[in-house]
Amino acid sequence: MGIRNDLETGLITLHTAHTSYQMWADGLGVVHHLYYGPSIGEADLRCLEFRSDCGFSPQPAGLDMQRDYSLDTLCQEYTGSGVGDYRIGCLRLAAGDGSRIADLRFAGAEILPGKYELPGLPAAFDNGGECETLRLTLRDPVTGLTVILLYGVYEAADVITRAALLENGGTAPIQLEKAASACLDIPFGEWELIHFHGRHCMERQPERAPLLHAVQTIRSARGASSHQHNPFAILAAPHTTEDAGECLGAMLVYSGNFKIECELSQMHSTRLVAGISDDDFCWTLNPGERFAAPEVLFSYSAAGLGLLSRQYHHFLQHNIIRSVWRDRPRPVLINNWEATYMDFDARRIWDIARQAKELGVEMLVLDDGWFGSRVDDRSGLGDWECNEEKLGCTLDQLIGRVREMGLLFGLWIEPEMVSPGTALYAAHPEWVLAAPGRSPATGRSQLVLDMGRPDVVEYLYQVFHRLLASHDISYIKWDMNRNMTDVFSHALPAGRQGEAFHRYMLGLYDLLGRLTRDFPEVLLEGCAGGGGRFDAGMLAYCPQIWCSDDTDPIHRIKIQYGTSFGYPPAAMGSHVSASPNHQTGRSTLLSTRATVAMAGAFGYELDLQKLTDEEKDLVRVQIQQYKALQPLLLEGRYDRLTDALADTCFTAWQFTAPDKSRAVVSLVVIDPQANPWPIHLRLKGLDPAARYRESLTQHIYTGAALCHAGLTLPIMQGDYPALQIMIERMDTE
C-alpha cells in the first residue's frame, strides 16, 4: 500500500490500512484534491471531479475559453493567494513589490522512507518502519515562494500527518500574514462540525452543528491553545454515532494561537483549513529562509466516532508522546494544593506524606508556595529559590525526609511567568511582554516572560536544570496561569512584532525539549490553570496533562468525556479531591470520586489526615484497585458507553484489554430518579465467542451477549453512587 505516485498521469494516492487519500497534479500544475475516505485500491477518481461554468468564478490566465475550470470551484491541496479562489485560503502575504499574489504550481513530488521532522516544532515520530513521507513541492514563479507540503503516511495507524514548509527562493523579503499547515477540500457529502469549547473549570465540551454556507471558525488568540477552544475538530456525517457512520478528525500539534476554519462552498464542497492563527501574525521571510507551519494529524473512520477516538488515542500514545513514562505505570500521588493551598511548612508536608505512605500513596507533590516571597498568588514568581524560612528547613531536607518515608517527591513550577516586585523583574523588566509607554494588564497578578527571547530561555534552562540536577525530584508539574496581553517583544524590531506569539511557542518548545532530554526520568505533567493547554503539542513533552482545575467528579465526567474524543485517558491527570468540592460545593461519595479519577492518571488532592478510618481503608483499596487496572488505562481500548451530556440519569465508560481478556466498566449515577427506569448497558469490544464472568452478580455470559443484549443493573440511589464492574474472560475448558 503506502504512497503511489504515477508520473505519467500526475495521480498521487496515499494508502493506509483502511483509508485512501488521492490528489492529482494537472497539466497546469494545479494540485487537485480528489478523495479521502475508505480504501479504494488503485482506482483513478479524476472522473468524479465536477466542473461547471460557475458565474463570476474566474479562469487562470490563458484559459479564457475554458470556463468550467476555476480555482474558485476546484478542490485543492493547498491554495495560493489572490488568483481567483475566494474561499478561505491557506496563504496571505505581501511580496517585496507590494503585491499580495501567490500562484502556486506543482514543481515535483518525492517519496521518502520514514517520517519528516519540523525544525523547532513537536511532531509525530516513526518508531521504525511505520511511516512513509510524501514531499510535494509547489512554487510561485514570480516571487520565488516555495511551499513544500509534507505528508506522513502511517499505514497501520490509519493516520496521515500534514505540514507545510514555506521557503523564500526570491530576492526580496516576503511578509507572511497567514501560513496555514493544511487544507482539506471534500468535494461531496453532508457534514457536521464537532468542536470542543469551554472555559476555565469546564474545558472541552463537545458541540455539534451543521455546516453553513459561511465560514465557521474555531480559534484561540490567547497565546495558548486555551480553555475556550481546543485545536481539534471533527467533521461527521449527520447520522454518525459512536459506532456507525463517517467522520474525520483534524488535530493540530501546536499549543499557541491556532485557527481551524470550515466553509461550505457555493458548489457544496467542504473546505477545512488548519494552522497558526493569522490574528496578530506576520512573519518576515527573507531570501533563503524557511518557515515551518505546525503539523496536523488527520484520521478517518467509517465506523463511527468511537473508532476515530481510538485511532487518535493509539497514535498520540505511540507516535507523539516521547517520554520514557509513556508506557510505564504512573505513581499514585498526593498533591498538597487542596489540602493546604500556600499555608504550609515542612512539618505539615511531612505529616501529609506520612499519612499518604500508610495508605499506599507512592509520591508526594509539593505545589505552589515553596519559593521566594510566595505567600499568595500575587508575589514571588520568578525568584526560584526555596523559602527556607517558611519551610523551616532546606529543600534537600524536606525532600530527604519524604524519601526516607519511602515516597517519591514532585514539585510545582510556573517558569513562563513573573510577579512584579521580584528580583527577576527588577533585574530584567525588558524580559516581560509589554509595549513601550504602556502599563501591561495582569492576570492572577502576574506578567508573562517573553519566551521568544533566547536569553530568557537560556536563563530558565539554567535555573531549572540546576533545580533538577541538585535535588532528588521525580516529577514536575509545569503550570501556566494566565493568557497573554500586551504582546510586544523588546527583542524584536517594530516591523517584526507579528512574530512574537509564535516565537514564544518556539522558545517554550525549545526549553521543554532541552529539559526533558537532560532529565528523561522526571515525569513531567503539563498544566495551564488546569486544561488551558491540553493539546498534542504539549503531549510531545508531557505524557500527562492536568485535565482541569475543576475536580468535582460530576463535572469531571463531562470534561473527561469531551477530552476523550481526541486524547487518550492515560494522558488526563485526574485526582480525588475533598468533599464538599472546593470549586462547586457539591458533596459526593469517596468511592464516586475515585471511580471518576481512575479514568485518568490517578492521585489524591486533599488532606488524608481528615479522613475517617473507614475512608482510609477505602483509599487503600482504591490504590490497589487502580494499580491493578492501570495496564488497561495505558494499553487498552477506551469506549464511551453513554453520552455524558445527554439528559440521562447515569453515564458509563469501559476499558478493555488489547487481547480482550478482561475489561472494567465504570458507571456513575448523575441524577438519581424516583420510580426509575432501568439502568441498562451494552458493552463493547469483547470477543463474541468467549465466556466472561462479571463481578457484580458473578454470572457468566458470552461476549456477544454482553455486547448485544447487555447488562441490567440494580437501582442505584443516593448522592451520586458509582460502581465498577470487572469483566473477566473464563479459561477455555
How far apart are the C-alpha atoms of 509 and 519, rounded to whole Å?
A: 15
State yes or no: is 295 an active-site residue. Answer: no
How far apart are the C-alpha atoms of 167 and 146, rounded to whole Å?
A: 5
The H-or-E segment that residue 576 falls in is strand 572-577
Instruction: Name the nearest CA neighbour of 706 among 651, 646, 647, 639.
Output: 639
Grouping H, G, I as helix, E, B as strand and the rest as coil, residue 334 is strand
Grouping H, G, I as helix, E, B as strand and the rest as coil, residue 619 is helix
Grouping H, G, I as helix, E, B as strand and the rest as coil, residue 390 is helix
> Cis link prior to 206 (omega < 30° from 0)?
no
Q: Which grid coordinates belong to 483?
A: 493568557
Instruction: Name the nearest CA neighbour of 683 among 700, 666, 668, 695.
Output: 666
Which residue is catalytic, options 192, 377, 388, 615? 615
In contact, 211 and 238? CB cutoff 8 Å: no
Which residue is catalytic, options 77, 525, 535, 694? 535
Q: How many CB atoms lie within 10 A of CB 660?
A: 18
Residue at 673: amino acid letter? Q
State yes or no: is 132 an active-site residue. Answer: no
Distances 291 to 5, 37, 74, 368 between C-alpha atoms, Å = 26, 30, 27, 38
Grouping H, G, I as helix, E, B as strand and the rest as coil, residue 511 is helix
Distances 402 to 251, 352, 395, 464 between C-alpha atoms, Å = 41, 10, 11, 21
How far apart are the C-alpha atoms of 388 and 370, rounded to whole Å?
A: 8
How far apart are the C-alpha atoms of 259 and 655, rounded to whole Å?
A: 33
Instruction: Name all contacts of 626-629 with Cβ < 8 Å and 24+ positions apart.
Output: 626/332, 626/594, 626/598, 626/602, 627/329, 627/332, 629/598, 629/655, 629/664
Output DSSP code: residue 708: I
Instruction: Name the nearest CA neighbour of 460 among 431, 440, 488.
Output: 431
E strands in 18-60: 19-25, 31-38
Please identify which residue in the block is written with the cell numbers 447487555: 710
Output DSSP code: residue 636: S
Buried b / exposed e along 434-455 (16+ C-beta atoms within 10 A): beeeeebeeeebbbbbbbbbee
In contact, 57 and 84? CB cutoff 8 Å: yes
User: DSSP string of 157-194?
Assistant: TTEEEEEEEEEE-SSS-EEEEEEEEEEEEE-S---EEE
Instruction: Name the nearest CA neighbour of 71 among 40, 100, 104.
Output: 104
Active-site amino acid positions:
535, 615
